[in-house]
């Protein structure tokens, strides 16, 4: 498996950054720790956010000391638990189980070890002690049951092949059959050979001598297994294999899914002895295999699917950290203004972005919100961020920048993917030029009064013929502009109300800063989780003479 490793350098050397497996009910997700300290809590700006009210707003923090990880409880109301013990500060080991206040349906596994085939190998060595159907058949049956039990507990990757091989090996030994094959049903309904083996555990990949008609009959039959005496069979292919191998009996076991009805494959064996010589215990063994093996394969398939989704989540986590990197904007220092910005994504990756560029004469910045959510929005956001940055850097007029970006997006048939944005250029003399492209109107505070300039244009990427016109304002020292994305104005409380423009204006009116807006949104939404990314920019014009 190609896994990316995240490391952090400090005075004490290089430390590998752990990942966290977050399990909430049936849902699992992997969160990559990308910085330290790594904070956990209910507040929206935490590195790991839980909406459950039993999680405190500032609940706990992961820290690293001397290359060891520690979890520090931040005086949380409902406590932090490691492996069931309440802790205030605890050194962490891989696979430690952590609970943040919630102890019934949510926990976190610290830096889980990657799944491997080791447990499957262990099983193989366990069943190596099988002696075949020799002296005591009932012991063999017990062993098979033991094997199936153990295999059912398997929780490992790449296990399907090993399960199939082990299954064939075990049943060959137990039944004394000559050859064994497992067939799995493909998406198109046909059976394809998954593995074949002879009694010497040698692989057989050629299934030409297998009686397809017996296989098909067994799949259609409603029986747990089918014994066919080939001397009675009219199948010519079978007669050929009878001659070649001196086989007399074909055993075919349809493998049924857990629902019991759907056949997911078949276990096919042929043997030298006659069907009627089959002992009662051997029939019991076949019965056991028939009922257990399919569930086993199904489980193995599930484990593999889960592993695939875990890998996908890891990829997503990498995408999130790349995007986090892009969103880490170094706000340049200019003598005439200060700019502060905060962004938090409600999903791992988000569609909000901002960027800031200082030229000798002005401070240019953009805040944008790409429609939709998730990876597709994040991809477009990254592209747009690059376009805005280069246009701002080279001093292209705002409206021209937007026309270019609009025609770029419209030409790419991105099925209604677009962005709303506010693009601003603040000059040292206080002249502010901006274009609102379908975005929440900026909040201006000029001479202590709150204004909402509602002039604006269409979003970029929707209408090819959209035209962009800018608006100009003359700022005085102390005047400020606040731009938010609709994740802020549409933050919902438990009652389903939006935070909305009025509450935003109220906070700004009483002099509230960016932090005050965040706090107000947090207080308003209470335990209701954010459903959209939130970004806020606040720029204060401090004056040219400063």
Q: Which residues bind other proteins (CB under 8 A)?
A: 369-373, 415-418, 420, 438-441, 454, 456-459, 462-463, 486, 490, 532
For 349, phi then psi, to 5°, come to: -125, 150
CA 31 vs. chain centroid, Å, equals 8
- Long-range CB pairs of 187-193 (<8 Å, 24+ gap) are 191/215, 191/219, 191/265, 191/266
3-class DSSP state for residue 182?
Answer: strand
CB of 502 to other proteins, least distance (A): 12
Closest CA to 162 of 208, 138, 195: 195
What interhelical angle do 118-127 and 159-175 show, nearest 10? 10
Q: Which is nearer to other proteins, 41 or 351 (CB)?
A: 351
**Which residue spans within 278-370 are E strands per DSSP?**
337-344, 352-358, 362-370
CB of 421 to other proteins, least distance (A): 11
Judge contact between 318 and 523, C-beta under 8 A.
Answer: no
Question: How many whole angstroms separate alpha carbon 209 and alpha carbon 75?
Answer: 71
CA 389 vs. chain centroid, Å, equals 30
Judge contact between 98 and 107, C-beta under 8 A.
Answer: yes
What is the pairing mode between strands 48-49 and 38-41? parallel
Q: Which is nearer to other proteins, 101 or 461 (CB)?
A: 461
CB of 369 to other proteins, least distance (A): 7
Q: Which is nearer to other proteins, 210 or 440 (CB)?
A: 440
CB of 463 to other proteins, least distance (A): 6
Question: How many whole angstroms separate alpha carbon 509 and alpha carbon 517?
Answer: 11
CB of 264 to other proteins, least distance (A): 29
Q: Which is nearer to other proteins, 251 or 444 (CB)?
A: 444
CB of 305 to other proteins, least distance (A): 22
CB of 438 to other proteins, least distance (A): 4
Which tokens in the block code for residue 58? Answer: 């500032």
Q: Which is nearer to other proteins, 71 or 457 (CB)?
A: 457
Closest CA to 448 of 422, 424, 477: 477
DSSP state, residue 52: -
CB of 319 to other proteins, least distance (A): 18
Q: Which is nearer to other proteins, 101 or 438 (CB)?
A: 438
Q: Which is nearer to other proteins, 325 or 496 (CB)?
A: 496
CB of 459 to other proteins, least distance (A): 6
Judge contact between 181 and 193, C-beta under 8 A.
Answer: yes
Q: Which is nearer to other proteins, 371 or 542 (CB)?
A: 371
Q: Which is nearer to other proteins, 288 or 376 (CB)?
A: 376
CA dihedral 513, 515, 516, 519 (to 10 degrees): 160
Count of beta carbons in the 10 Å neighbourhood of residue 408 = 14
């Amino acid at each position: 498996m190609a896994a990316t490793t995240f490391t952090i350098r400090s005075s004490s050397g290089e430390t590998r950054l752990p990942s966290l497996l977050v399990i909430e009910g049936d849902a699992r997700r992997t969160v990559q720790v990308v910085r330290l300290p790594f904070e956990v809590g209910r507040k929206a700006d935490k590195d790991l956010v839980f909406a459950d009210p039993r999680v405190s707003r500032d609940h706990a923090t992961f820290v690293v000391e001397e290359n060891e990880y520690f979890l520090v409880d931040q005086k949380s109301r409902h406590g932090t638990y490691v492996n069931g013990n309440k802790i205030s500060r605890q050194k962490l080991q891989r696979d430690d189980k952590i609970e943040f206040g919630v102890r019934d349906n949510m926990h976190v596994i610290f830096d889980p070890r990657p799944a491997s085939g080791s447990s499957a190998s262990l099983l193989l060595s366990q069943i190596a002690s099988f002696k075949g159907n020799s002296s005591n058949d009932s012991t063999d049956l017990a062993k098979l049951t033991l094997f199936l039990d153990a295999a059912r507990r398997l929780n490992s990757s790449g296990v399907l092949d090993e399960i199939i091989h082990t299954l064939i090996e075990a049943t060959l030994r137990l039944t004394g059959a000559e050859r064994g094959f497992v067939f799995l049903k493909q998406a198109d309904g046909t059976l394809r050979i998954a593995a074949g083996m002879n009694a010497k555990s040698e692989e057989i990949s050629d299934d030409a001598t297998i009686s397809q008609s017996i296989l098909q009959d067994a799949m259609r039959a409603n029986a747990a297994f089918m014994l066919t005496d080939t001397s009675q069979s009219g199948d010519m292919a079978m007669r050929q294999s009878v001659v070649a191998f001196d086989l007399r009996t074909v055993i075919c076991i349809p493998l049924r899914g857990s629902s019991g009805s759907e056949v997911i494959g078949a276990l096919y064996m042929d043997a030298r002895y006659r069907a009627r010589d089959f002992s009662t215990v051997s029939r019991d063994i076949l019965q056991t295999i028939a009922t257990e093996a399919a569930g086993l394969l199904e489980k193995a398939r599930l484990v593999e699917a889960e592993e695939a989704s875990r890998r996908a989540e890891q990829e997503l986590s990498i995408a999130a950290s790349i995007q986090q990197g892009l969103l880490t904007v170094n706000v340049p220092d200019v003598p005439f203004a200060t700019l502060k910005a905060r962004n938090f994504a409600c999903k791992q990756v988000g569609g909000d972005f901002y960027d800031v560029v200082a030229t000798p004469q002005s401070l240019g910045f953009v805040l944008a919100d790409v429609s939709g959510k998730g990876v597709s929005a994040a991809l477009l956001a990254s592209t747009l961020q690059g376009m805005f940055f280069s246009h701002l850097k080279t001093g292209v007029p705002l409206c021209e920048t937007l026309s270019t970006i609009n025609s770029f997006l419209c030409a790419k048939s991105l099925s209604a993917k677009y962005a709303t944005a506010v693009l601003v250029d603040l000059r040292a003399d206080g002249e502010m030029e901006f274009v609102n492209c379908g975005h929440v109107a900026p909040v201006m505070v000029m001479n202590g009064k709150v204004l909402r300039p509602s002039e604006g244009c269409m979003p970029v990427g929707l209408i090819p013929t959209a035209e962009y016109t800018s608006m100009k304002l003359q700022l005085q020292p102390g005047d400020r502009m606040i731009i938010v994305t609709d994740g802020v104005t549409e933050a919902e409380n438990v009652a389903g109300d939006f935070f909305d423009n009025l509450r935003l204006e109220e906070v700004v009116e009483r002099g509230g800063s960016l932090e005050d807006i965040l706090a107000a949104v947090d207080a308003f939404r209470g335990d209701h989780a954010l459903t959209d990314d939130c970004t806020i920019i606040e720029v204060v014009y401090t004056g040219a003479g400063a």
